[in-house]
Every structure is written in C-alpha cells, then in structure tokens.
Amino acid sequence: MEGGGMATTRAQKQVLLFHCVEMEHLARSIASQSPSIHLQSINWRSFDDGFPNLFINNAHNIRGQHVAFLASFSSPAVIFEQLSVIFALPRLFVASFTLVLPFFPTGSFERMEEEGDVATAFTMARILSNIPISRGGPTSLVIYDIHALQERFYFGDHVLPLFETGIPLLKQRILQLPDHDKIVVAFPDDGAWKRFYKQFSNYPAVICTKVRQGDKRIVRLKEGNPEGCHVIIVDDLVQSGGTLIECQKVLAAHGAAKVSAYVTHGVFPKRSWERFLHTDGGGSPKAFTYFWITDSCPITVNAIANKAPFEVLSLAGSIADALQI
C-alpha cells in the first residue's frame, strides 16, 4: 500500500502434510521448519495378494484445509499405492492440494530415437495431470531440478507445476568453505551448463564435453581454466557416476587443486555411490573432496549417512517455503 501506511504481514497458511513411508524423515524436517505445517498419517497396509490396503487417518477433519502430500517414486513398486492416496486426498473437500515430488524419476536415459521407444516420463506426467481438482482448483505440483527441460511441457492444464531448484543450498554451502574465494564451477556437458550457468554468474566456469570414440565416451575440457582452484562439478542427478569420475580426472589433469561435486538427486542405483567413498587404505588419493546431494532420494540418504565425502543438503526449508505459495 502506498502513502507510508504500515505493511501488514500475511498470515501463514496452515498446511496438513501427509507423506509416504520413505519420506518420513524429510516430512518431519519440513514440519520442524514452520509451526504452520502439521504432520498427518496414513496407514500403509497391504492385502494378502500384495495390493494396497490404505487408510487416510483424520480424513473427516481435513475438510476445508490446505493439504499436501510428500511423495517418493523411488521404484515402480511404490508408485501405485502413493497414486491411490494422491488421487483420494483432493476429493475429501480440501481447500487446496499440493503434491511435492522432489525427484521426478522417469526420463533419465529416455531417448526417443526410433519407433517403438516408450516415453515413460510423458506417461507419468499424463497420470499426474489427471489428479482430481480440489475445491480450491488445480493441484500444485512441486518438483526440483527436473532432468530434461522439455518435460516441463508434458504436464496438462489440470495441474500447476512449480519447478524449484536445489542450487541455493549449494551456494550457501560454498560460502562456508575456507577456500570459497577460489571456487570454479564446472559443468560436465553443455546440457548442465545451459541448465545452471545463470545461477553461478559470480563464479568462473569450466565446461566439459563428452565425445564418442568407438564404444567409449571420452570427457574433455571444452573451455575454462581450473588450475589451482577448488572446482565443483554441478549437475541435476547422478546414476552410475561414470561421467563425474571422468570429469574429475580431466580437471585434475588440468591442475585443479581440489574437485568436489553437487547433484540435486543422488539416484545411485546398485550402490554406485560406493565408487566415491573415501577409504583409509593406501589406494589412490581421494578424488572428490566433497560430494553434496539433497534428500530428494531418501534411500540414498540413508545409505551414505556419515560416509565421506558425502554431505546432505536438506530441501526441508525450501519445501516449507513452497507450501506457503
């Protein structure tokens, strides 16, 4: 309001937060961020044939309330039971419904290169686009650092996607480093550079590139100078980690004093995080000084707890803020 009137603080929206079993720890962290977020519970049971037998506790009392669900689609086995709850909650006469899916899992490795390839990311987006409308309108869908940027356009008009990023968490962590004035940000390929470079305009950049030599993919330095600096490789997700390891070798060969890595989503199938562990044996020197991930993939977070070089940067505060939008 103009004219020197005193600004009024908008009241915090009271949010009832449900969550899947895997996300219990993150849900508790989110609730601890704000007195306006109240944890709710679901009985996650199964019938003898393995199909879900679910019960939303306190269902009658959520009428007219702002409701959110924190999901983890970590495997096809857990998606159906969560979708059943996600489709049920908006129909309980709630004032609004928000789905928080920190990691949108389909889409990595999806290449529509020939007739017959199936775009599972598009299928998932179509399913989520059909979540019933609540009394307050379309579902808000909160996703962090979606893998392929074109997937933003897969969602229909019945949901309102809110695309967030974990990069501010890394930038805060960089400022705490003793050598924060000697940081160079590296991107493993042009895709990562396009996605993130604007958020690191205050830092020198190094861009790597992958070239094919027969069946191998060779990583090379495309531009930038890492010499004498602490180089942090930034990407949205990691699977096997092979590209990050090859990037580290190239950066070290070009004189980087230290190399660290950040990914929002530490997927690490088949325990591939073990390739990055610091060992006390007399093997090769520690390749990565730090490896930062967020808690978007809770199975990985539990596996790497207290194991160097890993550090978890929690999305809890960011999600708590997003629930107030």
Q: How far apart are CA 222 and CA 283, in angstroms?
A: 30
Q: Could you give all domains of the chain from N- to C-terminal order, each with its CATH number?
A: 15-164+317-323 (3.40.50.2020), 167-294 (3.40.50.2020)
Q: Is the pTM of this model over 0.85?
A: yes
Is residue 82 within a helix (H) or strand (E), and if so which, with residue range? helix 76-88
pLDDT score of 67 more than 90: yes
Is residue 69 within a helix (H) or strand (E), and if so which, with residue range? strand 66-70
pLDDT score of 82 more than 80: yes
Give the mean pLDDT of 67-90: 96
User: What is the per-residue pLDDT across 203-223, written as a single tens digit (0 to 9) for each?
Assistant: 999 999 988 777 777 899 999
Distances (CA, A) of 266 to 40, 144, 300: 27, 12, 7
> Minimum mean pLDDT among 29-33, 87-91, 147-151, 196-200: which range?
147-151
Q: 3-class SS at 184?
A: strand
User: 72 is written with which tokens?
Assistant: 């983890």
Give the mean pLDDT of 295-301: 97
Q: How far apart are CA 286 and CA 136, in angstroms?
A: 52
Helix, strand and coil in the chain, % to nearest 5: 30, 30, 40
Report the percentage of the chain scoring pLDDT > 90: 79
Q: Please tell me which residue, 114 or 82, carries the higher pLDDT value.
A: 82
pLDDT score of 294 more than 60: yes
User: What is the per-residue pLDDT across 234-247, written as a single tens digit (0 to 9) for each?
Assistant: 999 999 999 999 99
Q: What pLDDT does 147 receive?
A: 80
Q: φ and ψ at 134, to 5 degrees?
A: -90, 180
Give the mean pLDDT of 295-300: 97
Q: What pLDDT does 99 receive?
A: 98
Q: What pLDDT does 10 receive?
A: 67
Q: Please tell me which residue, 111 or 303, carries the higher pLDDT value.
A: 303
User: What is the per-residue pLDDT across 244-260, written as a single tens digit (0 to 9) for each?
Assistant: 999 999 999 999 999 99
Q: What pLDDT does 283 receive?
A: 44
Please give the DSSP secondary-structure letter assigned to residue 137.
B
Please give the DSSP secondary-structure letter assigned to residue 11.
P
Residue 49, Cβ neighbours under 10 Å: how many?
Answer: 6
User: What is the per-residue pLDDT across 273-289, written as a single tens digit (0 to 9) for each?
Assistant: 999 999 755 445 689 99
Q: What is the CA radius of gyration of the chain?
A: 22
